[in-house]
Structure 1
Amino acid sequence: MTGGAQITQADTKTRYEVFHTDCPARDMVDHITSRWGIWVLISLQSNDLRFFELRESIEGISEKMLAQSLRALLQDGLIWRKVEPTTPPQVTYGLTEFGREVGEPLGELFDRITQRLGSRDEK
Structure 2
Amino acid sequence: MYTVPDLRAHGGADAFLRNCASRAVLDLLTNKWVCLVIGALRPGTLRFGELRRRLDGITQKMLTQTLRDLERAGLVHRAVYPSVPPRVEYSLSPLGANVGGLMDAIRVWSETHIDDIRRAQEEYDRKAGEELQPV
TM-score (norm 2): 0.72
Q: Give me the whole-angstrom Cα distance separating, in 1, the residues matched to 2:21 and 2:84.
A: 38
- Does the aligned pair in 2 maintain the 1:31–1:69 contact within 8 Å? no
Correspondence for 2:54: 57
- Secondary structure, counterpart of 1:36 in structure 2: helix
| Partner of residue 41 from structure 2, selected from 34, 40, 44 | 44
Structure 1: gaps spanning 5 or more residues: 1-6, 119-123
Structure 2: gaps spanning 5 or more residues: 1-6, 116-135
**Between Structure 1 and Structure 2, whose CA radius of gyration is higher?**
2
Query: After TM superposition, what 4+ stretches of structure 1 lie above 4 angstroms from structure 2?
Result: none
Percent identity for Structure 1 against Structure 2: 33
Tell me by how many angstroms 1:117 deviates: 5.2
Change (3 A) 1:21 1:64: farther
- Secondary structure, counterpart of 1:16 in structure 2: coil
Structure with the higher fraction of residues in helix conformation: 2
Correspondence for 1:8: 8
Deviations 1:35-91 (A, max 9, x none): 311110110011111111111100000110001111111111111000011111111
Tell me by how many angstroms 1:116 deviates: 4.4
Aligned-residue CA RMSD in angstroms?
1.9
- Does the aligned pair in 2 maintain the 1:37–1:73 contact within 8 Å? yes
Q: Give me the whole-angstrom Cα distance separating, in 2, the residues matched to 1:89 and 1:62.
A: 21
Matches within 5 A, 1:26-45: 26-45=23-42
- Does the aligned pair in 2 maintain the 1:32–1:73 contact within 8 Å? no
Structure with the higher fraction of residues in strand conformation: 1
